[in-house]
Amino acid sequence: MPPKDPHLTILICSQYDIAIRIPGSRWYAELEFLYDNGASMMSVYEGDLRRIMGESQVESTVMGLNTTTIADNSRMTSPVVEVEVTILDNDRKRLTRWVRIQCEVYRGWCGENDNRLDGPWLRQLLYTASAPRNNDMLYIAYNNPDIINAIPDTGSFRSGPALDVPRVPLDPGGRAV
């Protein structure tokens, strides 16, 4: 496991690079992923998987099939494989240990207008945050105080309507009258 810098706070955009490999292989590829807090699983394309495998004879374990309803309300069934992932800093040093996760594999190659989704793994390892009106920036830190200090004051805050909760009179036993 890489050493944890206690003051590490990374500022990255909504798309970032993830190192990804087949379990049992030392070879990895760096691919760009879209940070999507609604994605329940990481996604890559068949061409990405070929690139990740490289010249290796080690293949990814197929764990099953996943049927997804996509934005246009159509359904797509794709294989789910096991991969290992980590995030690298600007000096290409690992910020997390290698983590085994499930990954959905889409057909074909990732085109210019396509996105790979990162899934929930990053949020399960590190503190992540965003701020309103801040151009889709994603903040990552190892601990709570650092993530709080990293988030900028955008001059915006959400204030919901004030709730006027009526007091309910209680009898001496604590039951509503």
The SS3 assignment for 161 reads coil
**Is 132 part of a structural domain of the chain?**
no
Is 136 a domain residue?
Answer: no
CATH number of the domain that residue 115 is part of: 2.40.70.10
Please say whether the beta carbons of 98 and 21 come within 8 A: yes
Asked if residue 112 belongs to a domain, the reply is yes
pLDDT tens track for 93-129: 888 899 999 999 999 999 988 889 898 888 888 888 8
Does the pTM surpass 0.85? The reply is no
In a domain, 160, yes or no: no
* The pLDDT of residue 7: 47
Using CA atoms of 90, 96, 100, 106 in order, give the dihedral in degrees to the nearest 10.
-30
Q: How many domains does the chain have?
A: 1
Domain presence at residue 4: no
129 occurs within a structural domain: no
pLDDT tens track for 128-165: 887 776 566 778 888 888 888 778 777 665 555 555 66
- Report if residue 118 sits inside a domain: yes
Residue 152 lies in a domain: no
In terms of residue numbers, what domain contains 106? 15-124
Per-residue tokens: 23: 């379990």
